[in-house]
Structure formats: structure tokens, C-alpha cells
Structure 1
Amino acid sequence: MSIDFTLKKYKSLCEAISNCSYTTLTFEQYFSQKNIPINCILLRHDVDRNIENALKMADIEYRFNLVSTYYCRKTKQVFKPEYFQKIASMGHEIGYHYETLDKAKGNEVEAIKIFEEELNVFREFIEIKTACMHGNPLSPWLNSNIWKKYDFKEFGIIGEPYISLDYKNVIYLTDTGRTWANKNIRVKDVIRNEYNQKNNLLIGNISTTDDIINLIKEEQFPQICLLAHPNRWHDHTINWIGESILQNIKNIGKAGIVWYRKNNW
């Protein structure tokens, strides 16, 4: 079996999508269009660290006539407007990957102020129509909880994937933890509603990208949201090994957090 989580493997995934009847949509398109294609895939990328790798993935998608959404953090590593513009020029969407409750240490008033300020900085360089929360497993706050008090539409945001998607109809697949399967290492990146269990039962025993490719080829599920973090996908051996070691260490910690919260909250 070939090595997983390489850009070469991601290319195979994109090729499989392009050869099927699925249409790819950005989240802006999905939230704004009245008539959504029956078979569609929402390719989502949370750019947590590696904007350079995001550009490589965007180029692969572009070569297969696919579009996707890149949610970018307001950090020194990620906030590089020249990359945003290159990615957007290929037809992809740039979204805002907010973490304002974390930055405000739970203060909602300060958090919404940070949200507006950072959003405005993004908009100096690129159009932003959707936003998606960043989940820090070590933080006690869930960034999307800010919308229990405020309305993101007041800031010109038309949708938030964790809130606005109808997961009754959309199958959610994520590479969190550098695996497509292990739910016990997902601290924040989970569907928090009654459809979570249904989603898990439907996708069955999926763990590798080849499993995802086979699922897509079967075209069993009309609508799929597929999250791939650019920093997890490398062709260079040293980078691939480094990311693998880092992720394995983090997964041990996240598994402990999940266990603790299940047994103490």
C-alpha cells in the first residue's frame, strides 16, 4: 500500500473526484446558491500553519478543475496576502479561520471586537464571505460559541460550516489527527448534534485516503464535506516524517483530553 497523506496521494483523491459525477463547490457557493447540485463535494482546508502547502494543494485542485475553500488564521505563519490572492485566482475561496474566544481568553465582548478587527484586515486584501472556527484542543473555549450571543451575518458572513451546514444531508469526513477515522482524538473537530452518530455509522470503517477514494467512487452519498489540513500532507520525506511524529505525540495528548472530558464533564 502506498504512503498516505502525501501530495501525490491528494492528487489521486482529486483525480477520483474529477472522474465522478460530483460537483465541487466553495462554501460561499453552497451557502448562496438556491439550486445545489444533487451530487456535490465541499472541499475544506483549515490552514493552521502551512500556507505554502495550501498553495500546492490549490494548484492540484485547479489542474483537475475543482474548487475548494481555504480557511486561514490571522497568524504570522498563515497571514500572507500574496498567497491568498494566488489561491483565489484559481477559483478557490479564502475564508477566515477565527479563534477569537481563545485570543480573548473567553471574554465575549473582547472576542467579537477581535473578530471584526481581524476580518477587516483580511478584507483589505481579499473578499471574505464565510468563516470557520479554529479548534485548539488545549483551550477550554469553543470559538463557535461566540455566535450564541452574536450574529455573524451582521459582519457580512453568510455561513459558518460548523453551524450553517445541514448535517442531516451532508456526510462529514476529516483528516484530524492525520487519520480519517479515529474519533477518540477529536476534541473540537466534531459535529455537535444528533447527526454525529448517524454520520459515523454511515461512513463505516474509514481510516485511509484510499478508503475515501473508494467511497467517492461508489457515489453512495450525494453530499460530502471533506476537510484536509494542508500541513498534514507532504511529499518530502523529512517533512512527512516530522509531521507524522508531531501528530502522533499530539494524538496521545488529545486522546487523554477526550477521555477526561467524557468521564468528568
Structure 2
Amino acid sequence: MRDFTLTKYESLLQAIKKTNYSTCTVYDFLKNEPENCIILRHDVDRAVNRNLAMAKLEHRYRIKSTYYFRHIEETFKPEIIRQMARMGHEIGFHYEVMDKANGDMDRAIEIFKEELEDLRKAAEKVTKINTVCMHGNPLKPWSNRDLWRKYDFRDFGLTGEPYLSIDYNKVFYLTDTGRTWADLKIRVKDTIDRPEGNSKEKSRANKKVDPRAISSTDDVIRLIQSEKFSQICLLVHPNRWCEDLGGWTKELLLQNVKNIGKAGIVWYRNIQRYKEITH
């Protein structure tokens, strides 16, 4: 069976339902921090109809997840936003305002206010916007989450930001970035911090499995079936999961080209950091 299809994603959902795990949105996790749970998070980067198809599939299995919408013409579709919200999914804001403001924090926060308000109006009377998550453009030099070094997202009535509000010492994190679950050297912006803190148990939590050994969705399914982790966060980009062969092949070829470019960016930036440290 081909990987990264809706059929394969359905196999993942079926596997989850047969375990002791519950599933939850980002907001529900931050609010309740349940044990034995899988946080399902989606970034609506493009191909909004593929996102809708995944949301409908999850709804059939009575699973609620979080969908973070970019504020661009291709994905900012109020009717689809409301349709997903009516299914019980959490709707959040996938902000990229540092990129849009060319690194100017004061301009970026103004754009953030405007675009967050637009999303809240789109979701009005159906759901509230409680969490936001940064979008990562590998071609831009800024990290959008750096906005919160100067400002506080809680001032906007928000509960959290997954990259900043979840303790990944406790929560095992997996992402399909690069159209693979493997932790390859192609993640330019989709990286997490794991401060060790004082707890030896926390630092041991992420040593139960070598992330490099997980590359396919079948690997993820086997990990979930093992129930080795109390809490897991899965980041899934629905635009990469395509059922028809033509679209699937196009996505595969496009992502392979992107991965080569992203590997080059990571290599170049590591060289630059090394030069800064040694000079």
C-alpha cells in the first residue's frame, strides 16, 4: 500500500482507536494535560480541499484534531473553516507575520492582530480561536515564533503555541515534514526545544525509541501499538496526503526536490553557526 494517502492515514486512525490512547486537540491538551493521549495537529499550508477530506475522515472516527490555517488566499476559506469547526475540530491561526514584515517585530505584531481578527470573524458563532502556531518558510531567514521574544500571545486571549507551550521532554513528537517521519537533516523551521530540566525521568522519556528508526506511517503505527509513550504529538500536513496516483506522484517528486534544497539550507546555516562560534 502506498504511504501518505488517505487510506494509509485511515489505517493510522484505526490503529489509534484500538489502543488505550485518547486523541485530543492542542487546546484540550494544554487545558487538561491528559495521560495516554495523542495530540493530533495539522498545518493547513496549501491544498485546502485535502485538509477538508482529512477532517471528514477523522470525524467519521469521532476524532477531533487541530487545524492551523494560514492567512493566504489559497487556504483562508471561511466556509471550510466553519465546516471543520462544526465537526468539532479546533481551528487555530498558522501565523507567518515575521516573514510578511521582513523581520520588523512592530510591523509583525500589527499584521498578527489584523489576521487573527480575520480568522476570529471567519469562525464567529461556530468556535473560538484559542491557540496559534507559527508557519515555517525555509527560504526566509526569520523564525515566526521569535515574535514572542518581545510580545506575549496571551495578551490576545490565546492559551498557547505548540512550539512554546508543550513540554517535549514529556511529549514524544513526530512530524511528517519532508513527507517522511524520519528525523532527517531537512527540518529548517519545524524544530522543537527539549530543555532537560531537573527530572531524569523527563530526559529518559525520549530515549525509548530512536526517532531515526521511524520513517514510514507503518513505523508510526507500530510505535503507537506498542504504547511506549504516555503522550504523543503527531504533526500531519494534509496537503502531502493524496489518494489519486497523479497527485500523489506529483507531491512525491516535488517534495524530493524540496528536501534537497532544505538539506542544503540546513548545511549552510550550520556552517555559519560554526563560524560564529569559532571566531
Place the TM-score, normalised by the shorter chain, in its bin: over 0.9
1:233 aligns with 2:232: no
Instruction: Decide which moves more: 201-210 or 223-232.
Output: 201-210
Q: What SS class does the counterpart of residue 122 from structure 2 fall into?
A: coil
CA separation of 1:198 and 1:54: change in aligned 2, threshold 3 A: farther
Distance 1:84 1:211 in 2: 31
CA separation of 1:42 and 1:73: change in aligned 2, threshold 3 A: same
1:218 to 221, 226, 251: 226
Q: Is the 8 A contact 1:100 1:115 kept in 2?
A: yes
Q: After superposition, give the CA deviation of every residue in 1:182-204 in whole Å (9 maximum; x if it has no partner).
A: 43010000113446x97774432
Partner of 1:259: 267
1:16 aligns with 2:15: yes
Distance 2:261 2:206 in 1: 23
Q: What SS class does the counterpart of residue 234 from structure 2 fall into?
A: strand
- Give the CA RMSD over aligned residues: 1.5
1:41 aligns with 2:33: no
Q: After superposition, give the CA deviation of every residue in 1:32-75 in whole Å (9 maximum; x if it has no partner).
A: 23xx3310010000010021111111111111111100001000
Partner of 2:122: 125
1:109 to 83, 106, 114: 106
What is the aligned-residue identity percentage? 54
Q: Which residues in structure 2 correspond to 1:186-225 (within 5 Å)? A: 186-194=187-195, 201-204=207-210, 205-225=213-233
Gaps of 5+ in 1: none
1:171 aligns with 2:179: no
Partner of 2:258: 250
Report how far residue 263 of structure 1 moved.
Answer: 1.6
Give the TM-score of the pair, scaled to structure 2: 0.91
Give runs of ≥4 in structure 1 deviating > 3 Å.
197-203
Q: Is the 8 A contact 2:168 2:193 kept in 1?
A: no
Gaps of 5+ in 2: 197-202, 274-279
Give the TM-score of the pair, scaled to structure 1: 0.95
Partner of 1:181: 182
Q: Is the 8 A contact 1:14 1:60 kept in 2?
A: no
If you compute each CA radius of gyration, which structure gives the higher value, 1 or 2?
2
Counterpart of 1:234, as a letter, is C
